[in-house]
Amino acid sequence: MKPRSENLMDAASRLPPFPAVLAGMRVLDASRVLAGPYCGQLLGDLGADVLKIERPGVGDETRSWGPPYHPTGPTAYYLSCNRGKRGVALDLNHPSGRQLFAQLVQQSDVVLENFRPESAEKLGLTPAHLLKLNPRLIVCSISGFGRTGPLRNAPGYDFAIQAMSGLMAITGPVEGPPCKVGVALTDVLTGVYAATAILACLIARGKSGHGYTIDLSLLDCAIASQVNVVQAYLTRLQEGCTPLEAVPARQGNAHLQIVPYQLFPTADSWIVVAVGNDGQWQAFARVAVPELADDPRYRKNPDRVRHRTELVPQIETAMRQRTTAEWCKLLEPIGVPHAPVWNYADLFSHPQIEARGMRITVCDPEGRPIDLVGSPFHLSYTGEPTAPPLASVPPRLGQHTDEVLRQLCGVDETSLEKLRREGIIG
């Protein structure tokens, strides 16, 4: 591998160092858009060599999902989920492209893919075929609805999955329309589930010696991620409710099972109050609504949930009497969980973000700076220090094609030129 630039070394040196725990692992990221690429980025953050496989001349769809565009060219969307990868432009529709991909498969530990089943079958890139090429491979297949069931061939996008999973039905104002979450959450969660499953399979492979396939569905991950709310539906059914009676009511910015645990208006803005137990309620009530602190109707959380419609308006009236800053000053010393509502300008101006390295600056090959969202991983270790993974800018389309094919497939310069003329690589 070519050495990284000094600019990238300088950028990485500002991050908290931790061991590259996946050093020596190679990931072929043949996925597109968000769920798979986000998973690949997480594995790269942990030290894996992630090769992003894209179609020559076109690339990942998110390369065109703008504005905004960074002044150096990439879209913000593409920058968000492709940090730390090497870019390889390879036409998998061409037999020579598939042959090169097969060589890369044989030298890799993980393949991430979100091919449609019929496309994978046509190209000979099904999980079964990939495992024949490399019996120790971990193949993670991501799709909207999984490889089984009546919807297995249906396309799946985050917005559609949020709608179908029940997530939109429990999100938004109580009296308003269903709402999606403000980010493609089911894609992101599926990426995290994918990384978790891959890491587990890598550990298992170390014991068994053989590879594994992973079949992940955005819909499955969206359902599992709704935890206590979706479980409340199943539990109410077992209590004897009809299916419609068991559907949880939309709570807006409140909580289905805890009161008060919601957003409140203040004299100048908004504040979240998250009372998680009865002791916190007593502390909160004595400063906010002292006349209710000893009221037996509100002493225990189940009582407060039952009397929500009576209690919450009284708290709302009290919260409007002070500013958000005044409430924060009152609630902090008595241990009542609370938070002001920040926008991104507020967030990235706070010293906590700098302390945690959640905004990093890397440089492209020309030395131009690009700000990225940092990795959430903070690992510690004992023993001899090892070099931390370098935070590098997401690759240009095909930026490392020649490097990778020379290094891993033994392709010489003459052959590279021929492949490029034929449009097989880019």
> What residue ranges do the domains of the chain occupy?
6-224+357-421, 261-346
Of residues 347, 414, 402, 391, the one with CA closest to residue 100: 402
Residues 6+ apart with CB under 8 A from 175: none
The CATH superfamily assigned to 6-224+357-421 is Crotonobetainyl-coa:carnitine coa-transferase; domain 1 (3.40.50.10540)
- Count of helices and strands (H, E) across the chain: 19, 11
Cα–Cα–Cα angle for 147, 153, 157, rounded to 5 degrees: 95
Residue 389: per-residue pLDDT? 56
Q: Is the dihedral of CA 289, 268, 171, 356 positive or negative?
A: negative
Q: Which residue has the tokens 């894209």?
A: 54
Give yes or no for a contact between 385 and 20, defined as CB atoms under 8 angstroms apart: no
Backbone angles phi, psi at 158, to 5 degrees: -50, -45
**Residue 38: C-alpha distances to residues 28, 54, 287, 324, 414 (Å):** 13, 15, 44, 36, 35
Catalytic residue among 49, 109, 187, 220: 187
Helix, strand, coil % over all residues of the chain, rounded to 5: 45, 15, 45
End-to-end CA distance of the chain: 19
CA atoms within 13 Å, Cβ hemisphere of 32: 17
> What's the distance, CA 383 to chain centroid?
31
> What pLDDT, on the 0 to 100 scale, is given for residue 264?
97
Q: What is the pLDDT of residue 384?
A: 56
Question: Other C-beta atoms within 10 Å of 260: how many?
Answer: 25
The SS3 of residue 327 is helix
- CATH architecture for the domain at 261-346: 2-Layer Sandwich (3.30)
**How far are the Cα atoms of 45, 51, 59, 144 from residue 84, in angstroms, in the given order?**
7, 9, 17, 26
Cα torsion through 388, 189, 40, 111, rounded to 10: 140
**Confidence (pLDDT) at 161:** 96
Residue 122: how many other CB atoms lie within 10 Å: 12
The answer to whether the pTM exceeds 0.85 is yes
For position 6, what pLDDT does the model report? 32
- DSSP label of 75: B
3-class DSSP assignment, residue 193: helix
Using the structure block, give the residue that is written with the tokens 């890598």.
202
Distances (CA, A) of 371 to 1, 71, 76, 91: 24, 11, 10, 31
Amino acid (one-letter) located at 137: L
Same fold, 6-224+357-421 and 261-346: no
To the query of whether residue 364 is one of the catalytic residues in this protein, the response is no
Closest listed residue to residue 258, CA positions, set 286, 284, 225, 222: 284
Sorted by sequence, the CB contacts under 8 Å of residue 53 that are 6+ apart come out as 28, 29, 30, 88, 90, 92, 101, 104
Give the neighbor-by-neighbor strand order of the sheet with 261-265: 261-265, 270-274, 338-340
Q: How far apart are CA 211 and CA 28, in angstroms?
A: 15
Contact 84, 44 (CB under 8 A): yes
pLDDT tens for the 426 residues of the chain, in order: 333 333 333 333 334 455 688 999 999 999 999 999 999 999 999 999 999 999 999 999 999 988 998 888 889 899 999 999 999 999 999 999 999 999 999 999 999 999 988 888 888 899 999 999 999 999 999 999 999 999 998 988 999 999 999 999 999 998 889 999 999 999 999 999 999 999 999 999 999 999 999 999 999 999 999 999 999 999 999 999 999 999 998 888 889 899 999 999 999 999 999 999 999 999 999 999 999 999 999 999 999 999 999 999 999 999 999 999 999 999 999 999 999 999 999 999 999 999 888 998 888 888 888 899 988 888 877 765 444 455 678 999 999 999 999 999 999 999 999 999 999 999
Task: Tell how strand 270-274 and strand 212-217 pair up.
Answer: unpaired
Query: How many C-beta atoms lie closer than 10 Å to residue 356's C-beta?
Result: 14
Cα-to-chain-centroid distance, residue 404 = 27
Question: Which residue has tokens 């690429």?
Answer: 37
